[in-house]
Structure 1
Amino acid sequence: MPAPRLVLTGDLVASSALSHDRLSMALDALSEAAALLEYWYDAPLHFTRHRGDGWQVCLPVDLSALRAALTFRAALRQVDKTLQTRIAIAEGSVDIPPSGDLNAASGTAFTLSGQTLDAMEKHVTIADARDGALAATAELAHHISDDWTPAQARAVLPMLAPERPTQDEVASALSITRQAVRQALLAAGFPSLSAALHHLEAA
């Protein structure tokens, strides 16, 4: 029986209005976010473009799907505030081919994730097919992250690492002051998101 995994299925909001260059820029940002997550977790995500303006990744079940979803949102938002992706999270069996191409993969996690994305209301940008606290936290996370500015997203992105850097290190990397980092994180609602992620991952 295929092992249970987490699948994130996403698509770009209002992609038909994007030029070819902006669409490529958005998908490149998402691909780079997947590479960053692979580095953080030392695990393949098999980032795959899906249905033209869509994408998918697959995670081990012991990793945080919501942390990954926020990483994708921050990576995209830091490029351009007008770029948005919806993300649906599901858990279940998966069968990935040796090529790693998720378009050729199968399993309940892919089915549930796709169905959840299709059922999402237009204003919702993160949804979790699992019940309870996971679904509730995803709902709140989408509401908070929807308002991120590029500057806030740039501050949030490195802080989403499982072993996160100090604010001084982020400030140095971004060539801004520590106070600017702190203000950006507060304005982005990061302290509350970080606490929620900690509680979910410790459960």
Structure 2
Amino acid sequence: MTLTVLTGDIVDSTKLDSAALDRAMEALSDAALVISAWDSAPCLFGRNSGDGWQLALGTPSRGLRAALYIRACLRRLDKTMTTRIAIATAEGQLPDNLDINSAHGPVFVSSGRLLDRISGHTHMAHAAGGALNATVVLADHIAQGWTQAQARSLCELLPPDAGPREDAAKRLGVSRPAVNQALWGAGFPALDQAIKDWEHPR
């Protein structure tokens, strides 16, 4: 089946104590649980290699949205927290036991190899290269500037069918103008359009 796989690791994890790293991985696991409810297709998450993780999406078009949601969840937790993310879309097989560490196929190889090549100030990339990678790299540049307040609003509005901003403001305990300001500062209008074009190409 065609899958999108996100492979990542926590940036500068060696500077974190074990408790902070566990909180980061718990935030990733919680984010994956939310992502799994976006569609009826399979969605598997697993931790590996201490600070490493992987997410397999049975709805391949959700890759960019999922990557940005994960970034927002980490930034909401800590203003210095982030993860590298290598995105790939290709064929792969998910195991019957739903253990992602038993999954296999070209998509997992491609995503894993790409993560090894991501370095420097770039924290996200797409294995396909070209326009897809350009979109991911630009989205990454925007995401690196998010504040915690912006990330909190993004976590409310990035999921598909998130509902009106007024409801998000109530859940956050802030005003709607505050949510609007946070989203504008976070580049959400442009990111939202990029996500929609990614998921529904013309």
TM-score (norm 2): 0.96
Per-residue deviation, 1:61? 4.3
Corresponding residue to 2:103 among 96, 102, 105: 105
1:70 equivalent in alignment to 2:68: yes
Q: Partner residue of 1:43?
A: 41
Q: Partner residue of 1:156?
A: 154
Runs of 4+ in 1 over 3 A off after TM superposition: none
Superimposed CA distance per residue, residues 92-118 of structure 1 (whole angstroms, 9 cap, x where no aligned partner)? 221222222222221110110011000
Cα distance in structure 1, aligned partners of 2:75 and 2:69: 10
> Mind listing any 5+ residue stretches in structure 1 that lack a counterpart?
none
Query: Is the partner of 1:10 in helix, strand or coil?
Result: strand
Identity of aligned residues (%): 44
Per-residue deviation, 1:122? 2.2
Q: Partner residue of 2:52?
A: 54
Question: Size of the alignment, in residue pairs?
Answer: 201
Per-residue deviation, 1:125? 1.1
Shift in alpha-carbon separation, 1:62–1:113, aligned structure 2, 3 A: closer
Cα distance in structure 1, aligned partners of 2:60 and 2:50: 29
Corresponding residue to 2:23 among 22, 25, 31: 25
> Mind listing any 5+ residue stretches in structure 2 that lack a counterpart?
none
Shift in alpha-carbon separation, 1:118–1:62, aligned structure 2, 3 A: closer
**Cα contact 1:61–1:91 (8 A) shared by 2:** no
TM-score (norm 1): 0.95
Greater Cα offset, 120-129 or 138-147: 120-129
1:9 equivalent in alignment to 2:10: no
Corresponding residue to 2:126 among 125, 128, 131: 128
Cα distance in structure 2, aligned partners of 1:35 and 1:110: 20
Cα distance in structure 2, aligned partners of 1:129 and 1:118: 12
Aligned residue identity for 1:5: L
Superimposed CA distance per residue, residues 105-158 of structure 1 (whole angstroms, 9 cap, x where no aligned partner)? 211101100110000122111111013321111010000001111110000112
Cα distance in structure 2, aligned partners of 1:118 and 1:131: 15
Cα distance in structure 1, aligned partners of 2:164 and 2:27: 24
Aligned residue identity for 1:53: D
Cα distance in structure 2, aligned partners of 1:126 and 1:14: 15
Cα distance in structure 2, aligned partners of 1:96 and 1:40: 18
